Amino acid sequence: MKRVLVLIALLSFWSCARNPVTGKRQIVLISESQEIAIGVQSHVQAQDEYGFVDLPAVQAYVQQTGRTLSAVSHRPNLDWHFTVADSPVVNAFAIPGGYVYFTRGILAYINNEAELAGVMGHEIGHVTARHSVSQMTKSQFAQLGLGAASVFSPGVGRLSGLADSALGVWFLKFGRDDERQADQLGVEYAARAGYDPREVSNFFDVLRRLGEAGDKETIPGWLSTHPDPGERVQATRAAAQQWIVQLGLTPERMKVNRDAYLRSIDRVVFGTNPREGFTEEGRFYHPELQFQITFPSGWQVENTRTAVYAMDADKGAQIQLKQANVPAGTSAEAYARQLAAKGTTPQSGGTTTINGNRAYLGLYAMARQGGSALPVLAAFIEYRQKLYEFVGVMSSLSRYRSTVEMVIRSFDRLDNERILAMQPDRLKIYTAQQGDTLEILADRYQNPRVTADDLAILNRLAASQPITPGRLVKVVEKGY
């Protein structure tokens, strides 16, 4: 995707246009039509790589809220799209052209529709103020110098950003001034759409608490680039009060919609979905596709909907595993011949067997920009009428070959019944009864991954605090 952005930027003429938000003239590389084209292409790639939450009710709720917000924005005529991405990471992001995404992870920690409107308004603000367009010429690209011409998969080069959340691939890193402006726009759009803008600041306190908790799975992507949550609370509270006065808003005219929002996220998957792959004691398992792999200790593993990526601690070796885009039943050897016919010829290689599966293992060379070729150990493995493609890129063949080959040869059939039967944890919206506390509910639901303190952050309540009977609260039903 980033290479597409660079190409568009290089081919575009410099032009001067007025910023839709500030009204000031600015130098831009990309026209609005090009911006929209980028959004269309990126949306398809986002769906392919991460998938969208398969709950029509929550998608419809987010889309309707988005339409309400975008209608009062500085660019109401864009063809806006609002989508819930299937990721546990607490994040929201926008792509140029009017495409806004919320992870299921962030929806779990939002507590009402007014908060959703604030986060949504922030992301809409990045688009209306054309922050992405401004950042395109400043973006940093692949750190490891991997070339753009890999016929194996264009996804290999993305591993240089593995330390970020998976969705960071789609989320440009804006400057603090842009983030502050987006915060202000989020408050403004929420107020203009009839929401209580004071609710916007409450979510930033949740970000702070999540950051302090230090959970690797739920540390917000927002915290890595956005202003300090404490600063944001003060700034957005002040802005909210200004808009309440300016628009003459009264309490009865400001929507919060807590219960309606909570009911919309009932049954949303919470945390990692084990059906789509997970790591346990150094072993990666994929129950849905029924395979397993072993990665060396210390390797960083990132699992997406379309591929598994891994990198060693020194960033000297990277591995990608995905299904090859070939017809069912294509043999490993036939695929190797297809690549050779396209000019990707191995330096050495041949057919082999990997844990009973027919395979082709070959040593290739990958050209890279401004440097010598990198050695690549690639394998194509026939498994369950599909062809799996390993690509192991190494900075040093002598240092990493044996390790990469060990990972490749660890690919095996998954037959552990416990793992094959695993289901994800899910949010449950529970109506509190007399005497309930979050400590009592945590003990009742017996989910080893969700403590009373976790429920306290989810619900903005103290763990031992009596809950008013009839109040809706979030609990997490155990799936595995």
Q: pLDDT for 307-342, tens place per residue? A: 999 999 999 999 999 999 999 989 999 999 999 999
Domain count, the chain: 3
Q: What does the pLDDT look like over 63-115, one tens digit per residue?
A: 999 999 999 999 999 999 999 999 998 889 898 899 999 999 999 999 999 99
Residue 226 pLDDT grade (very low, low, confident, very high; cuts 50, 70, 90) = low
Task: Check pLDDT > 70 for residue 184.
Answer: yes
Mean pLDDT to the nearest integer, 263-267: 97
CATH of the domain at 458: 3.10.350.10
Task: Check pLDDT > 70 for residue 215.
Answer: no
Residue where a domain stops, chosen among 203, 236, 264: 264
Name the percent of the chain lying above pLDDT 70.
Answer: 82
Residue where a domain stops, chosen among 212, 232, 264: 264
**Bigger pLDDT: 153 or 16?**
16
Residue 173: per-residue pLDDT: 61
Mean pLDDT to the nearest integer, 245-254: 95
**Bigger pLDDT: 319 or 153?**
319
Residue 206: per-residue pLDDT: 81
Residues 180 and 247 in one domain: yes
This prediction has a pTM of 0.81
Residue 166 lies in a domain: no
Q: What integer best gives the mean pLDDT of the chain? A: 85
**Bigger pLDDT: 151 or 205?**
205
Residues 198 and 289 in one domain: no
Residues 283 and 407 in one domain: yes
Residues 28 and 177 in one domain: yes
Task: Check pLDDT > 80 for residue 391.
Answer: yes
Task: Check pLDDT > 50 for residue 268.
Answer: yes
Residues 68 and 202 in one domain: yes
Residue 385 lies in a domain: yes
Residues 287 and 393 in one domain: yes
Residue 141 lies in a domain: no
Residue 388 lies in a domain: yes
Residue 47: per-residue pLDDT: 86
Residue 167: per-residue pLDDT: 34
Residue 164 pLDDT grade (very low, low, confident, very high; cuts 50, 70, 90) = very low
Task: Check pLDDT > 80 for residue 228.
Answer: no
Residue 323 lies in a domain: yes
Residue 210 pLDDT grade (very low, low, confident, very high; cuts 50, 70, 90) = confident
Residue 176 pLDDT grade (very low, low, confident, very high; cuts 50, 70, 90) = confident
**Bigger pLDDT: 16 or 354?**
354
Residue 156 lies in a domain: no
The domain in which residue 441 lies consists of 426-477
Residue 388: per-residue pLDDT: 98
Lowest mean pLDDT among 125-129, 162-166, 240-244, 260-264: 162-166
Residues 209 and 328 in one domain: no
Residues 340 and 438 in one domain: no
Q: What are the tokens at 455?
A: 């429920």
Residue 162 lies in a domain: no
Residues 455 and 351 in one domain: no
Residue 245: per-residue pLDDT: 97
Mean pLDDT to the nearest integer, 458-470: 97
Residue 158: per-residue pLDDT: 42
Residue 140: per-residue pLDDT: 35
Q: What does the pLDDT look like over 397-437, one tens digit per residue?
A: 999 999 999 999 999 999 999 999 999 999 999 999 999 99
Mean pLDDT to the nearest integer, 249-256: 94
Residues 310 and 368 in one domain: yes
Residue 154: per-residue pLDDT: 41
Residue 159: per-residue pLDDT: 39
Residues 278 and 387 in one domain: yes
Q: What does the pLDDT look like over 366-389, one tens digit per residue?
A: 887 767 889 999 999 999 999 999
Residues 328 and 433 in one domain: no
Residue where a domain stops, chosen among 208, 242, 264: 264
Under a CB-based contact definition with an 8 Å cutoff, are residues 316 and 394 in contact? yes
CATH of the domain at 347: 3.40.1000.10
Residue 165 lies in a domain: no
